[in-house]
C-alpha cells in the first residue's frame, strides 16, 4: 500500500454502463448538490464521521476530510445505454424526482447522452435496444469500448477514470471453462463464446484500460477468475456485486441483531412490488434467478447454521419480486419473520418498507465510485472486500466465507480507511482505558468539528 496517496487532483471520469433510474438519480443529485439545492444524505463518504485514536481525543473528522477523495465538483459522468435518452430524459421517465425538482439542473443533465451499448438480448430478454454497437467479434466490441473510454477521458481532460455497472440484471449463468483464465477468456472473446456476457465485455475493457470496475447488479462478470487475473496484472481494483439497498439492507441489519441475542429463526418470507424498468427486467425468470441468488445468499453467512443448527438450520427463506407498474421506482417490500426464543416460544416480526429504490442506491453508487478511485490511488488491486458494506453479494476470495453482517462490514470499511491513512485500527474492546485506571488521563480538549 502506498504511503503517499496525495490529493485527488483533476477530473475523475465516471463511466457507467446503464444510464437508467439509479444513474440518473445519482447524476441529478450530484448536480443539485453542486448548486447547493440538496444534501447527499445516505452517502457515507459525504456525511459520516470517523473516530480516530482514543475516545478522549475527540478526533471525529468527516470521512471526506480524512481521506483524499475526489470532490463532487470534479466528477464528469459518461456512459452507455441501449436507449438514446439524455440523463434529463431518463430522470424524467423513471419519475424518481419530479420535473420541478429537476428544472434547476436540466441543462447539465441534458448535456449527458449515452454512447451506444454492448448489448445481447440473450442476456436481458425484456428490453429492445435502440442504440447498440455492432462488430464481428466480442473482442472487437471490447476494443470499441476501450476507444470510448479513451476518447471520453481525453475530451473531458480527465486525470483518472472509474467504472460502475448500473445496467440491467443479466440472466443467470454459471462459471464455465472460458472464464477460468485470462488466456481462455481472450480466446473466447475472439471466437464469440456464448458464455461471455455484455457485462463481462465491459469489465474486460475497463480493466484493460486500468480503470477500476465495480458491479452494481448481481451479474456474473467481474468475479470470474479471468477478470481477477487481469485486475491483478494491471494493478486495478474490482468490487461487487449488487448494490445493497432496500430489503436486503434491512435483512443485514436485523439478522445480525437476532443472532447476537441467540434468537432462533424458523422462516423469513420477503416479497416486493416494483414497477420501474429494473422490475420489468426482473420479470424474466432468468434475470430474476440471478437476483434471487444474490438476495438469498445473505442469511446463511450471517446466521452460520452449521455452528448453530438448533437456531437456524430449519430456516425457510423465500424471496419474491413482482413487477407492478403503478408503483414505479417507489418499491414496497414486506417481510414476515418467524422467530423463536426462550423455551422455543414463537414470535413474529413484520416489516413493511415503503422505500425508493434509486434514492437508496444513488448514494451507495457514489460511495463505491469514490472509494474505488481511492483504492487505485492507494495502490490496492484485485478484490476490494472492504467495500462489501455496499454490496448484497460481496465478491470475496474463493476460499473465504463472505461477510454479510452490515455491522462487521462497517467496522471493516472504517478500519481499512484507518489503515490506508496510517491511523490506529480500532478493535473497540476498550480494555486499555481501564488498564491504568489509577493514573489520571491527560485528556485533550475536544477539537472543534467542522
Site for ligand NAD, rule CB under 6 A: 17-22, 80-83, 94, 117-119, 124, 127, 166-169, 198, 216-217, 242-243, 245-246, 276-278, 281, 357-358, 360-361
What is the smallest separation between the CB atom of 234 and ligand NAD, expressed in angstroms?
Answer: 22
CA–CA gap between residue 12 and residue 80 (Å, rounded): 17
Nearer to ligand NAD, 245 or 404 (CB): 245
CA–CA gap between residue 267 and residue 405 (Å, rounded): 19
Q: How many residues does the chain have?
A: 450
Nearer to ligand NAD, 81 or 284 (CB): 81
Set of cell numbers at residue 384: 476490494
Nearer to ligand NAD, 87 or 105 (CB): 87
Contacts of residue 18, Cβ cutoff 8 Å, sequence gap at least 6: 79, 80, 81, 165, 166, 167, 168, 216
SS (H, E, C) 397-442: CCCCCCCCCHHHHHHHHHHHHHHHCCCCCCCCCCCHHHHCCCCCCC
What is the smallest separation between the CB atom of 421 and ligand NAD, expressed in angstroms?
Answer: 29
Contact 69, 162 (CB under 8 A): no
Contacts of residue 409, Cβ cutoff 8 Å, sequence gap at least 6: 252, 388, 389, 394, 403
What is the smallest separation between the CB atom of 81 and ligand NAD, expressed in angstroms?
Answer: 4
Phi, psi (deg, nearest 5) at residue 96: -75, -50
Contact 198, 122 (CB under 8 A): no
> Considering only CA atoms, which of 206, 210, 19 is closest in space to residue 114?
19
Question: CA–CA distance from 335 to each of 249, 271, 275, 289, 358 (Å)?
Answer: 12, 7, 19, 19, 20
Contact 1, 418 (CB under 8 A): no
CA–CA gap between residue 277 and residue 353 (Å, rounded): 20
Phi, psi (deg, nearest 5) at residue 419: -60, -45
What is the smallest separation between the CB atom of 3 and ligand NAD, expressed in angstroms?
Answer: 35
What is the smallest separation between the CB atom of 130 and ligand NAD, expressed in angstroms?
Answer: 9
What is the smallest separation between the CB atom of 121 and ligand NAD, expressed in angstroms?
Answer: 10
Nearer to ligand NAD, 18 or 68 (CB): 18
CA–CA gap between residue 221 and residue 294 (Å, rounded): 13
Nearer to ligand NAD, 78 or 246 (CB): 246
Nearer to ligand NAD, 81 or 223 (CB): 81
CA–CA gap between residue 255 and residue 258 (Å, rounded): 5
What is the smallest separation between the CB atom of 183 and ligand NAD, expressed in angstroms?
Answer: 25
Half-sphere exposure of 152 (CA within 13 A, CB side): 29
Nearer to ligand NAD, 33 or 80 (CB): 80
Nearer to ligand NAD, 217 or 315 (CB): 217
Q: Which residue is nearest to ligand NAD (CB)?
A: 20
Task: Tell me the DSSP string of 6-65.
Answer: ----SEEEEEEE--SHHHHHHHHHHHHHHTTS---TT-HHHH-B--BS-GGG-B--BHHH
Nearer to ligand NAD, 161 or 360 (CB): 360
Nearer to ligand NAD, 20 or 237 (CB): 20
Nearer to ligand NAD, 96 or 420 (CB): 96
Amino acid at each position: 500500500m502506498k504511503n503517499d496517496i496525495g490529493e485527488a487532483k483533476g477530473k475523475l471520469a465516471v463511466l457507467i454502463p446503464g444510464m437508467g433510474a439509479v444513474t440518473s438519480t445519482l447524476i441529478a443529485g450530484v448536480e443539485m448538490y453542486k448548486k447547493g439545492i440538496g444534501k447527499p444524505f445516505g452517502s457515507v463518504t459525504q456525511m459520516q464521521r470517523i473516530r480516530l485514536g482514543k475516545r478522549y481525543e475527540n478526533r471525529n473528522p468527516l470521512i471526506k476530510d480524512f481521506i483524499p477523495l475526489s470532490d463532487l465538483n470534479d466528477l464528469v459522468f459518461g456512459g452507455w445505454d441501449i436507449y438514446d435518452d439524455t440523463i434529463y430524459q431518463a430522470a424524467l421517465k423513471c419519475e424518481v424526482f419530479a420535473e420541478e425538482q429537476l428544472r434547476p439542473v436540466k441543462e447539465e443533465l441534458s448535456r449527458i447522452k449515452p454512447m451506444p451499448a454492448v448489448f445481447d438480448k440473450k442476456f436481458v430478454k425484456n428490453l429492445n435496444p435502440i442504440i447498440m454497437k455492432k462488430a464481428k467479434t466480442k473482442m472487437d466490441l471490447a476494443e470499441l469500448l476501450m476507444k470510448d473510454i479513451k476518447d471520453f477521458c481525453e475530451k473531458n481532460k480527465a486525470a483518472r477514470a472509474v467504472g460502475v455497472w448500473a445496467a440491467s440484471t443479466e440472466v443467470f449463468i454459471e462459471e464455465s471453462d472460458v472464464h477460468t483464465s485470462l488466456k481462455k477468456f481472450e480466446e473466447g472473446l475472439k471466437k464469440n463464446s456464448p458464455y461471455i456476457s455484455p457485462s463481462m465485455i465491459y469489465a474486460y475493457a475497463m480493466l484493460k484500460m486500468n480503470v477500476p470496475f465495480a458491479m452494481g447488479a448481481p451479474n456474473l462478470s467481474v468475479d470470474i477468475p479471468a477478470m481477477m487475473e487481469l485486475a491483478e496484472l494491471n494493478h486495478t481494483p474490482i468490487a461487487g456485486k449488487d448494490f445493497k439497498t432496500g430489503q436486503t439492507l434491512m435483512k443485514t441489519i436485523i439478522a445480525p441483531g437476532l443472532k447476537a441475542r441467540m434468537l432462533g429463526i424458523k422462516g423469513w418470507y420477503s416479497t416486493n412490488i416494483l414497477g420501474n424498468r429494473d422490475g420489468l427486467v426482473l420479470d424474466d425468470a432468468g434475470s430474476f434467478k440471478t437476483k434471487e441468488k444474490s438476495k438469498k445468499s445473505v442469511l446463511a453467512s450471517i446466521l452460520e447454521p452449521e455452528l448453530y443448527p438448533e437456531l437456524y438450520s430449519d430456516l425457510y427463506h423465500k424471496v419474491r419480486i413482482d413487477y407492478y407498474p403503478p408503483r414505479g421506482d417507489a418499491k414496497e417490500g414486506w417481510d414476515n419473520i418467524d422467530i423463536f426464543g426462550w423455551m422455543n416460544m414463537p414470535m413474529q416480526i413484520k416489516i413493511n418498507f415503503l422505500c425508493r429504490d434509486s434514492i437508496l442506491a444513488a448514494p451507495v453508487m457514489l460511495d463505491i465510485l469514490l472509494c474505488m478511485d481511492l483504492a487505485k490511488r492507494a495502490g490496492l488491486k484485485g478484490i476490494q472486500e472492504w467495500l462489501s458494506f455496499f454490496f448484497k453479494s460481496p465478491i470475496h476470495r474463493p476460499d473465504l466465507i463472505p461477510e454479510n453482517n452490515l455491522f462487521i462490514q462497517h467496522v471493516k470499511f472504517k478500519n481499512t480507511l484507518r489503515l490506508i491513512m496510517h491511523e490506529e485500527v480500532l478493535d473497540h474492546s476498550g480494555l486499555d482505558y481501564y488498564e491504568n485506571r489509577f493514573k489520571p488521563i491527560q485528556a485533550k480538549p475536544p477539537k472543534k468539528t467542522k
